[in-house]
């Protein structure tokens, strides 16, 4: 059983977390390059938040949204 858990440890520490170790060491030399994934994620989230708000506004303007409190059976 011990070999099973050590195998999982080896998988994560030696293989799956290597890119994160590289990013951690890169941060000491170039902060911007090390955080490029964070900036990309922030940009994607910002874009889709704006898209979602525009879609909500479009449905509200077309009166397609049912805002009745009894719209769901569990709210009766």
Give the model confidence (pLDDT) of 21-69 as tens digits.
888 898 889 988 889 888 999 999 999 999 999 999 998 888 877 666 6
Distance CA 18, CA 16 (A): 6
Please answer whether residues 76 and 70 qualify as being in contact, where contact means their C-beta atoms are separated by less than 8 angstroms: yes
Show Cβ contacts of residue 59 under 8 Å, excluding neighbours closer than 6 positions. Answer: 65
Distance CA 12, CA 26 (A): 20
Question: pTM of the predicted model, to two decimals?
Answer: 0.57
- What local confidence, expressed as pLDDT, does residue 68 receive? 66
Q: Where are the domains of the chain?
A: 2-63
> At CA 51, angle to CA 49 and CA 46, rounded to 5?
35
* Between 24 and 5, residue with greater pLDDT: 5
Please answer whether residues 61 and 55 qualify as being in contact, where contact means their C-beta atoms are separated by less than 8 angstroms: no
């Amino acid at each position: 059983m011990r070999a099973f858990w050590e195998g999982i440890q080896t998988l994560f520490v030696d293989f799956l977390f290597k890119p994160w170790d590289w990013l951690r060491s890169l941060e000491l030399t170039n902060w911007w390059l090390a955080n490029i994934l964070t900036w990309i994620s922030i940009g994607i989230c910002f874009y889709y938040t704006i898209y979602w708000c525009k879609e909500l506004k479009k449905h509200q303007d077309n009166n397609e949204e049912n805002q009745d409190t009894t719209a769901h059976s569990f709210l009766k």
